[in-house]
């Protein structure tokens, strides 16, 4: 085997040993915290996940997420209402000013329904 292959195998063994040790310690800590938890604590944690308040700003509660989506949707609707229908249309370089949405080609429609 080449020196690189031996070096890589050595690195893999080291990583596996560290990973196993971490898993053992983390598993033991999780088992202790689970053994100490009461059903009431577990239910309260779940309620907090749903209605908040969030302890982590990067992970808002489900209610906070829904409220943000609702606020974003309302703001978008207001912006759309303020726009004219022409502003809402996507235009390409091949579109002309007086071109509207054209009717589909009957041959294309026939192919899609087959």
DSSP 8-state class, residue 53:
-
105: region left, alpha or beta (phi > 0 left; psi from -120 to 50 alpha) = beta
What is residue 106's three-state secondary structure? helix
pTM of whole model > 0.75? Answer: no
Give the model confidence (pLDDT) of 58-99 as tens digits: 888 888 889 999 999 999 999 999 988 888 777 766 655 555
């Amino acid at each position: 085997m080449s020196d690189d292959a031996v070096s890589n195998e050595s690195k893999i063994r080291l990583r596996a040993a560290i990973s196993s040790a971490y898993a053992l310690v983390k598993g033991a800590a999780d088992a202790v915290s689970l053994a100490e938890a009461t059903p009431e604590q577990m239910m309260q944690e779940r309620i907090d996940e749903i209605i908040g308040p969030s302890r982590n700003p990067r992970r808002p509660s489900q209610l906070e997420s829904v409220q943000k989506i609702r606020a974003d949707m309302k703001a978008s609707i207001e912006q759309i209402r303020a726009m004219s229908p022409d502003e809402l249309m996507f235009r390409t370089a091949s579109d002309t000013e007086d071109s509207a949405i054209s009717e589909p080609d009957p041959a294309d429609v026939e192919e899609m329904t087959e």
